[in-house]
Amino acid sequence: MSVTIIDIDEWIKRCNTLPVLDVRSPSEYTHAHIPNAFSLPLFSDEQRSIVGTLYKQRSREQAIKAGLDFFNMRKMVEDAEDLISDYYGGKKEKHNTVLVHCWRGGMRSSAVAWLLSLYGFEVFCLKGGYKSFRNWVLKVFEQKHNINILGGYTGSAKTYLLKALEQKGAQVIDLEELAHHKGSAFGGIGQPPQPSQEMFENKLAMALNMISKNTSVWIEDESQRIGSLHIPHVLWNQLRQKDVYFLDIPFNERLNHICKEYGMLDKSQLMEAVSRIKKRLGPNETKMVLEHLENGNIHDAFEILLRYYDKLYGKALNNRENYVGIINKITCTSVYIPENLQNLEKCVNALPSSF
């Protein structure tokens, strides 16, 4: 078959409909990769180190010879076939087109592309490799996006409302889902490990790129930091300029929702999370919350915590620097999603016609 070198724009058009093989080392892939790409390392981490050292200290020729010693061509082809089969749900029919990349579009991707092409695949290689993709990611954050911000104090069930919006046909990006964290000191409990900052950015950029430019996308109002991750600064500045649709839900309704949401979590993890915010929460409040949790009094513990988070969010809402958007207050009687969806619909004219 053939090997074709394509630029990043053409790559992005194809990478959501074709299998992507990342031939960098396992540690490079684990740190961050193109979303949905499969790891097909040409070299192990140790082998990559050996080849790189030879390239720097000896010669290009010596590095290539060492690389050839490590290049198990049969295994590479068979592993590629298995990964491509997995991409297509294990179907046995042969699929002949694949995307391949390495770090800078150099020898690693060239070698694998040559082999797969020789075997019968049509191969597209990314010009500039993963480095080119990362440059594209940063440019996505600099673009202007049509964004609506869904706001509300803690316990307003904003994430559930986002899901309902999505089911109705709206475009949605769930930052907390991408970050594997719900945002507060308790947000990591029961969640998978957070991705690296670079991987979070990769997933976020791809999500933004998937959004139709003709309609708006809904994003939850977040702090810039989500757990150990942060929203890229250039995008964060843009989010601060957008209209906020603020769900104004009574305190007790939100408290009941929070108690249901977090009440079943491990008590020791809850107490550990409280201890992490001791300086900001205050010594007396921290002591009371820990005592309530120890005694199984979830309601009183989270009443204190919810007032703390209300104060933080209210301050952030009122102190938006250079804020030019509008805060649209939406009065709600409870966290009941169908009712709040209707309330939101009344406030917004740009929602999909399927509402």
Task: Name the catalytic one among 102, 125, 259, 332.
Answer: 102
Give the pLDDT score at 92: 62
* Whole-number pLDDT of residue 288: 96
Dihedral angle sign, alpha carbons of residues 70, 71, 74, 78: positive
Is-catalytic flag, 15? no
What proportion of the chain, given as a percentage, has pLDDT over 70?
Answer: 95
Q: Tell me the per-residue pLDDT of 185-235, one tens digit each, with 9 for 90 and over.
A: 888 988 999 999 999 999 999 999 999 888 889 999 999 999 999 999 999
Q: For position 194, what pLDDT does the model report?
A: 97
pLDDT-based confidence at 317, cuts 50/70/90?
confident
The residue-averaged pLDDT of 131-146 equals: 96
Task: Quote the pLDDT of residue 107.
Answer: 87
Residue 279: enclosing H or E segment and its boundaries?
helix 278-281
Question: How far does Cα 145 stand from its chain's mean position?
Answer: 17
- pTM, two decimals, is 0.92
- C-alpha to C-alpha distance for 347 and 326, rounded to whole angstroms: 12
Structural contact between residues 218 and 300, judged by C-beta atoms closer than 8 angstroms: no
User: In angstroms, rounded to a whole number, what is the distance separating the alpha carbons of residues 268 and 275?
Assistant: 11
Q: Determine the pLDDT at residue 190.
A: 87
Mean pLDDT of all residues in 113-117: 95
Average pLDDT, the chain: 91
Residues of the chain with pLDDT > 90, as a percent, come to 73
Q: How far is residue 107 CA from its own chain's centroid? A: 30
pLDDT band for position 350 (50/70/90)? very low
Mean pLDDT of 345-350: 78
Summarised one tens digit per residue, pLDDT across range 75-95 is: 999 999 999 999 998 876 678
Domains of the chain: 3-138 (3.40.250.10), 147-347 (3.40.50)
Question: What is the tens place of the pLDDT at every residue in 243-256?
Answer: 899 999 999 999 99
3-state SS record for 246-277: EEECCHHHHHHHHHHHHCCCCHHHHHHHHHHC
Confidence label for 304 from pLDDT (cuts 50, 70 and 90): very high
